[in-house]
Amino acid sequence: MSWLKNLFSRRSRRSTPQQITALRVANDTLRRKLAASYDAAQSNNANTRYWAAADDLSADAANSEAVRGVLRRRARYEASSNGSLDGIASTLANDLVGTEVRLQLTGIPDDIGRQVEAKFRQWSRAVRLADKLRLMRRTKLVDGEAFALMAFNPGIQSPVELDVVPIEADRVHDPWSTSTDPQNIDGIKLDDYGNPVAYYVLKDHPGSHAWTATPTEFDTYDAEHVIHWFKRTRPGQHRGIPEITSSLTLMAMRREYQLAVVDAARNAAHFSLVYKTLQTPDEIADDVDPTTLLNVERNMIQFAPEGWEPFQLRAEQPVAAFEGFDRRLLGETARPLNMPLNVAAADSSGYNYASGRLDHQVYWRSQDIDRADMELAVLDRIFARWIAEAVLIDG
């Protein structure tokens, strides 16, 4: 490698084209050697197919409109068809939000604080804020992102006529569809510093016009009026994907496996008796059509044809390992949410108090982090908008 060092020396800065080409070849060779020193960086017949979907796309390119649309549709389908996932989503939302939103003010006189807290509680109950926050948490899980508009609503039974209106992610969309503006991330307009300044929201849900062309009528909302809550997993990410993406295929496999087991057990149970014969063609046995069906009545003696013996099918499903395998799949599907198995399954029959409490510590720490994230992204902005409206009202 001494000649390579010489190429980097001060005297070699005026290198010939041949020397520059040799340097580039040497660098490429060295880079390949470094990559080959990691097992995961090697490409061979055993792993090429497995890593075929790996790419170098940016966060926004990888989470493109087409990709997010497929993931949302499949996650919504699974959440509406899979009882376990439906329960997991409800548990997460209920544990995070609880029964209502409570405001607690400090650093001001107690009488004023209690008055503001009471007024905010009255307003939050009028707009059903807790219910909308639970919906947003569920939407963040299934759709990957939750949007809400802070808008005027004269129908609210409260002096402050501010409303929080959740909207589906499908409506926050680039109305031009073919925009190549790097500061327009599928419905989110960014400034030169990467901050959202406006959102483009379709007037109608695209799914309500399935028989026509894609709707193009939209409203533009300043960012101060829009709440956008999602989990960031990569730097430079501006749109969210379902939080269950990594375990979505396992959820589908688990439900498909359960249905197959039920079908196998049900098919075996449908047969009361099956007749078989051990007679050879040369032996005497009654000629019976193999498709013949006989009605079996209760408390009756029935004679079988000559040479035929009855037997009963044994249900081979579920196998002995079914329950353990099923719970293992459920635990892995709930793992991205930091939810322990006994919470996901709503079954602690195999737990003792110590192990159950230990698993719950991870879950509740995760809930504390999600609650702090909700406070910053959602609740603080709602309260700031509410107090700005409230101070303008006499009394």
Q: Which range has the worst mean pLDDT, 295-309, 333-347, 371-385?
A: 295-309
Q: How far apart are CA 69 and CA 382, in angstroms?
A: 28
Query: In this model, does residue 210 exceed pLDDT 70?
Result: no
Of residues 251, 253, 242, the one with CA closest to residue 71: 242
Q: CB 383: neighbour CB atoms within 10 A?
A: 18
Dist CA 288 CA 304 (whole Å): 11
Q: State the Cα–Cα distance between residues 129 and 101, nearest whole angstrom.
A: 7
What does each C-alpha distance from 127 to 97, 123, 162, 270, 386 come to in angstroms?
15, 6, 8, 53, 12
CA dihedral (53, 56, 59, 60) in degrees, to 10, reads -90
pLDDT at 31: 66
3-state helix, strand, coil split of the chain in percent (to 5) is 50, 10, 40
Q: Quick one: which H or E segment has residue 222?
A: strand 218-222
Structure tokens at 95: 């544990």
Confidence band (pLDDT; 50, 70, 90) for 209? low
Most confident of 10-24, 160-174, 298-312: 160-174
Cβ atoms 378, 136 nearer than 8 A: yes
Whether the per-residue pLDDT at 214 is higher than 60: the answer is no
Mean pLDDT of the chain: 84
- In the chain, what is the greatest distance between 2 CA atoms, to the nearest angstrom? 108
Cβ pair 221, 189 in contact under 8 A: no
Output the pLDDT for position 348: 85
pLDDT at 83 over 80: yes
Per-residue pLDDT for 186 more than 70?
yes
| CA separation for the pair 61, 68 (Å, rounded) | 11
> What was the pLDDT predicted at 171?
93
In the chain, where the domains are located: 1-29, 60-242, 272-312
Q: What is the pLDDT of residue 204?
A: 86
Each residue of 226-277: pLDDT tens digit? 999 999 999 999 999 999 999 999 998 888 888 888 888 887 777 767 777 7
Question: Which 3 state secondary structure label does DSSP give 17?
Answer: helix
Q: Name the 3-class secondary structure at 220.
A: strand
